[in-house]
Structure 1
Amino acid sequence: MTIDEVSKKFDLTKDTLRYWERIGLLPDIARNASGYREYDEHALNWVYYIMILRKAGMSIEALSEFVKLLREGDQTIAARKSLFIEQRDHLMAQRDNINKTLRYLDYKIDHFEDHMLSYENEKLAYEGNLADEK
């Protein structure tokens, strides 16, 4: 598969794919006789894997560490698992903050008219235009 096809398949820019390869997140991508990249199934799996971890919010630095550990073999399993646990905990904290914000927005939406009415009354009071003022 060409870089253009991979770019479209995964909705990634070609620059992103080249960058990931250049910094070692992807294995060396084979080249055809003309020098163009040819992504095989193994490379496509890596693209997908890195893409998902980026969507999970994993930084390039953490990904680089993960790939380095992965290439070192089974003795790094605990360290790799630890990176995933750390990222999951980070995502869960983000989710909790998003849920808190959503609850707040839901409250504001559900009581929007009440708050607007209160604001209007405050404005009228400030301007001295409330009907029940003497």
Structure 2
Amino acid sequence: MYSINEVADICNLSPHTIRYYDKEGLLPFISRSKNGNRQFSETSLDLVKLICCLKNTGMPIKEIKQYIDLCMQGPETSKQRKKIMKVHRQNTLKQLDDLKKILTS
């Protein structure tokens, strides 16, 4: 199990940012110790890394929450999750194309 500080170091985030993500409902998969401290398993660490990746590529918190909520519902939501990722990929590629046009003009 990882502590919030360990996850923060691994993901290059502040503990405050992780607490914010938790408050926004992005971390329903984490558990709490008897003292109430957040505990992260290897799987939950991977999900935090995914959240960071999506955030770094411009996905809004609201959409990340929707994606994580679908993940928590299980494999029956895989088609919906795939659609979210496909749309996000298209948006990201369009942003890259727009940036290339700006840089070459």
Listed as ranges, the matches of 1:1-134 within 5 Å are: 1-104=2-105
Offset of 1:42 from its aligned partner?
1.9
Offset of 1:33 from its aligned partner?
4.0
The CA RMSD over aligned residues, in Å, is 1.7
Supply the AA of the counterpart residue of 1:37.
Answer: R
Distance 2:100 2:33 in 1: 49
CA contact (8 A) 2:22 2:28 kept: yes
The alignment's TM-score, normalised by the length of structure 1, stands at 0.68
Offset of 1:46 from its aligned partner?
1.3
Larger Rg: 1
Distance 1:5 1:50 in 2: 16
Residues 6 and 102 of structure 1, relative CA distance in 2, 3 Å threshold: same
Higher RCO (CA-CA < 8 Å; seq separation 6+): 2
Instruction: Tell me whether 43-52 or 21-30 shows the greater mean CA deviation.
Output: 21-30
